[in-house]
Chain A
C-alpha cells in the first residue's frame, strides 16, 4: 500500500440512450479520495452512485472525463492491462456479495489468485478471515454462512491483493445494524492502514466520515 495510491475521478459523465430517451446517469462528476481516507457518496436510488463507482473502478468507460488511480489513467490502458491493473489496485464490495457457490470461504478469498501473483496468498487469506472472525468457517461454503458473514468474506476477497482503493457499493444494504457496524469498522480499519475507501449508500448515518458527497440526478450536490 502506497501513500500515493488514491483515486481521482475528473469531470466524468455517462449518458445512455434508451428507446430514444436520453438518460444522464452521471454528469461532470469529480471526486478525489486520498490514501487513508474514507469517503461516502450519498444519493437516492437512480442518482448515479453505482455508475460512479463502476467508472471509478475501471469497469465502465465514461463518455467524458478521466479516472486516475495511483497516478494511472485507467481508461488509457488497454482492456487487458486495465483488468490486471484493477485486480492489483482496486477492490470491490457490492450489496450482493457475488461469492462463488462451489468454492469454500477460504477459496473464495483466494480466488483473485487465479489471475494475480499474490505473495503469501494462503497466509494472507487466513489472516484476513481471522480478522473478520471467520477462522472457524474456512472450509464452509457461502450457502452455510449468515448474510453478514458472507459480506465479510466478500470484503476479505476485495482486500486480498492489498489494493490502494476500495470501492463499496452499498455494502451494508442487506445487513442488519450489527453487521453493518462490523463492515463499516472493517472499512475504517482498512482506511486507517492507508487505503482509500469510496462507499456508496443511500441510508447510512454519515457522521464521522472524512468526506461525504451527495449525488442527485447524476450530479454532485454543491
Chain B
C-alpha cells in the first residue's frame, strides 16, 4: 500500500471533484493556449496576406509595365540620337535638326551591340514650306525600323521585326499631323500634291499638342530627294528605351561608344512621366501592402493587449477555483486525515497527498487544455488542424511551459489547503462522536 495507490483510489472515488478541477484547469489553459495560438496564427495569417498582396502588386506592376510599353508606342519616341554638333537651341527654334550624319550610323548602332535601345528609326527632318499648300510644315522622312541585331527575340526568319512598332510607309503614301489635316480638311484616302507628286493620305495622326501636329511623314528617300540629302539623316529615333529616367546617362555613354560624334537627347517629359507613373504605381501598391500590414499589426496588438490582461485573470481564476476545490476536499476528508495521522502518517505525507492530487489535475488539465487551445485558437484564425501551417503553430516551448506550468500553478493553488490538511488535529476530529 503506497501513497500513490491512496491518491489513485481517492481520485477514482471522488471522481467528480477531480474532474471539476481538471476541467477548470483545462478551460483556463485552453483559453491561454488558445489566445497565444490565436496570436501566432494571426502572425502567420498576416504573413500570408502580405505575401499575397505583394504577389498581386508584382503582377500589377508587370501588367503596368506592359501597359506603358504600349502607351510609349502611341506616345512616340523616347530617345533622339543627334550629331554632336547639333545645337539644341537651333533644334528647338527650327523644330528640326540641321546637322547631318551619314545614314550608315543607324546600321552601326544597330549592329554595334547596343543594349538599351530597342527600336531604331533613321530620320531626316526638314522644316520647309509645302509649296502646293503654301504652308510651313516639318517633313519627316523615315525608313521604317532598323533591326537591332542584339535583340534576336524581336526578329523573324528574314531578320525583320516581328511586330514592327511603325509600319514602313508604302510607296506614294504619306501621313499628316492633326493640325495640317484639320486646316486643310484632309482625311485618310485623300490625294494631295507634294513637290509635284501625288500622294495618298495613309494616316492622320491624332492631336499630340507638339510638332507632330504640323508634321508630314514620308519615306526617307523621298525626303532626302526633296532636300538634296541623299545618304544623309539628321537624327536616329529610338523607341522604347529600356532605360529608366535615372540611368539615362548610361544610354548616352553606350551610344557614344559606337558613334563617337553624337549626342543623345531624351524626351524627358515622357521618360519622366513614365518613371514617375511607375514610381507612383509602385508606391500605391506598396502603401496598400503597408496598410494591410498596419491593420493586421494593429489588430494583433489589440489582441495581444487583451491576452495580456486575460491570461493572468484566467490563471488567477483557475488558481482560486483549485484552492477552494482542494480546501473542500480537505474538509471532507478530515476523518480520513485524522486516522492516518493516528496510525503514524506524517504531516509531510498528508500534504503530499493533496499536492500530488493538485499536480495530477494540473497535468491532465494541461494536456486537454493545450490540445483544445491549440486546435481552437488556430481554427479561430482559419487554420484548421489538417493544414500544414498548423505545424508551424506548435511551439515546444509553449507546450513545455504549459505542461510544467499547469501542475506548478495547481500545486501553488493547493499549497494552503494541503497545509491545512497537514495541520488537521486528530485530537479535535477524533474526540467528536
A residues engaging B (CB < 8 A)? Answer: 50-51, 54, 57, 59-60, 79-80, 83-84, 86-88, 92, 94-96, 98, 100-103, 107, 110-116, 121, 157, 161, 169-170, 173
Contact among B13, B347, B349 for A102, CB-based, below 8 A = B13
Closest Cβ neighbor of A173 among chain B residues: B433
The answer to whether A115 touches B345, judged by C-beta atoms less than 8 angstroms apart, is yes
Residues of B contacting A111 with CB < 8 Å? 1, 6, 339-340, 343
The answer to whether B339 touches A98, judged by C-beta atoms less than 8 angstroms apart, is yes
List 5 additional A-B contacts (Cβ < 8 Å) besides A95-B433, A101-B13, A112-B344: A80-B347, A84-B344, A87-B345, A92-B343, A114-B345
1/0 per residue B72-91: CB within 8 Å of A? 00000000000000000000
User: 23 A-B residue contacts at CB 8 Å?
Assistant: A54-B426, A57-B342, A59-B342, A59-B430, A60-B427, A79-B347, A83-B345, A84-B346, A95-B433, A100-B6, A101-B336, A102-B9, A103-B6, A103-B9, A111-B339, A111-B343, A112-B344, A113-B1, A114-B2, A114-B3, A115-B345, A161-B344, A169-B430
Instruction: Tell whether B335 is near chain A: CB-to-CB under 8 Å.
Output: yes
Bound-state CA distance A101–B336 (Å) is: 9
Bound-state CA distance A110–B1 (Å) is: 7
Residues of B contacting A88 with CB < 8 Å? 344
A98 → B minimal CB distance (Å): 4
Instruction: Tell whether B12 is near chain A: CB-to-CB under 8 Å.
Output: yes
Residues of B contacting A112 with CB < 8 Å? 343-345
The answer to whether A114 touches B6, judged by C-beta atoms less than 8 angstroms apart, is yes
The answer to whether A83 touches B430, judged by C-beta atoms less than 8 angstroms apart, is no
The answer to whether A114 touches B336, judged by C-beta atoms less than 8 angstroms apart, is no
The answer to whether B433 touches A98, judged by C-beta atoms less than 8 angstroms apart, is no
The answer to whether A98 touches B345, judged by C-beta atoms less than 8 angstroms apart, is no
Q: Tell which of A60, A86, A94, A96 has the most Cβ of chain B within 10 Å.
A: A94
Residues of B contacting A103 with CB < 8 Å? 6, 9
Residues of A contacting B338 with CB < 8 Å? 98
Closest Cβ neighbor of B342 among chain A residues: A92
Bound-state CA distance A92–B339 (Å) is: 9
Residues of A contacting B9 with CB < 8 Å? 102-103, 107
Please report which residues of chain B, range 329-371, place their CB below 8 angstroms from some CB of chain A when the two chains form the complex: 335-336, 338-347, 349
1/0 per residue B199-210: CB within 8 Å of A? 000000000000
Please report which residues of chain B, range 391-433, place their CB below 8 angstroms from some CB of chain A when the two chains form the complex: 426-427, 430-433
Residues of A contacting B2 with CB < 8 Å? 114
Instruction: Tell whether B10 is near chain A: CB-to-CB under 8 Å.
Output: yes
- CB-based closest 7 A-B pairs: A87-B344, A102-B13, A115-B344, A112-B343, A98-B339, A60-B427, A115-B345
The answer to whether A98 touches B430, judged by C-beta atoms less than 8 angstroms apart, is yes
Bound-state CA distance A102–B357 (Å) is: 15
- Looking at chain B's contact residues, is the secondary structure mostly helix, strand, loop, or mixed? helix
The answer to whether B1 touches A102, judged by C-beta atoms less than 8 angstroms apart, is no
B residues engaging A (CB < 8 A)? Answer: 1-3, 6, 9-10, 12-14, 335-336, 338-347, 349, 426-427, 430-433
Residues of A contacting B433 with CB < 8 Å? 95-96, 170, 173
B343 → A minimal CB distance (Å): 4
Closest Cβ neighbor of A103 among chain B residues: B9
The answer to whether A116 touches B344, judged by C-beta atoms less than 8 angstroms apart, is yes
A5 → B minimal CB distance (Å): 16
Contact among B10, B13, B335, B349 for A114, CB-based, below 8 A = B349
Known: A101-B13, A114-B6, A115-B349. A94 touches B343 (CB 8 A): no
Q: Tell which of B12, B342, B426 has the most Cβ of chain A within 10 Å.
A: B342
Q: Tell which of A80, A112, A161 has the most Cβ of chain B within 10 Å.
A: A112
The answer to whether B431 touches A115, judged by C-beta atoms less than 8 angstroms apart, is no
Bound-state CA distance A170–B2 (Å) is: 30
Residues of B contacting A54 with CB < 8 Å? 426-427, 430-431
Bound-state CA distance A114–B352 (Å) is: 12
Bound-state CA distance A161–B342 (Å) is: 12
The answer to whether B431 touches A83, judged by C-beta atoms less than 8 angstroms apart, is no
A90 → B minimal CB distance (Å): 8
A100 → B minimal CB distance (Å): 5
Residues of A contacting B345 with CB < 8 Å? 83, 87, 112, 114-115
Residues of B contacting A86 with CB < 8 Å? 342-344
Closest Cβ neighbor of A59 among chain B residues: B427
The answer to whether A100 touches B343, judged by C-beta atoms less than 8 angstroms apart, is no
A14 → B minimal CB distance (Å): 10
Q: Tell which of A59, A110, A173 has the most Cβ of chain B within 10 Å.
A: A59
Contact among A95, A101, A113, A115 for B346, CB-based, below 8 A = A115
Closest Cβ neighbor of A57 among chain B residues: B342
A189 → B minimal CB distance (Å): 21
Residues of B contacting A173 with CB < 8 Å? 433
The answer to whether B12 touches A83, judged by C-beta atoms less than 8 angstroms apart, is no
Bound-state CA distance A83–B339 (Å) is: 12
Residues of A contacting B343 with CB < 8 Å? 86-87, 92, 111-112, 115-116, 157, 161
Closest Cβ neighbor of B9 among chain A residues: A102
A77 → B minimal CB distance (Å): 13
Residues of A contacting B335 with CB < 8 Å? 96, 98
Bound-state CA distance A52–B354 (Å) is: 31
Bound-state CA distance A170–B433 (Å) is: 10
A168 → B minimal CB distance (Å): 12
B215 → A minimal CB distance (Å): 107
Bound-state CA distance A101–B430 (Å) is: 17
Bound-state CA distance A98–B338 (Å) is: 8
B8 → A minimal CB distance (Å): 10
Bound-state CA distance A86–B341 (Å) is: 9
Closest Cβ neighbor of A90 among chain B residues: B342
A89 → B minimal CB distance (Å): 9
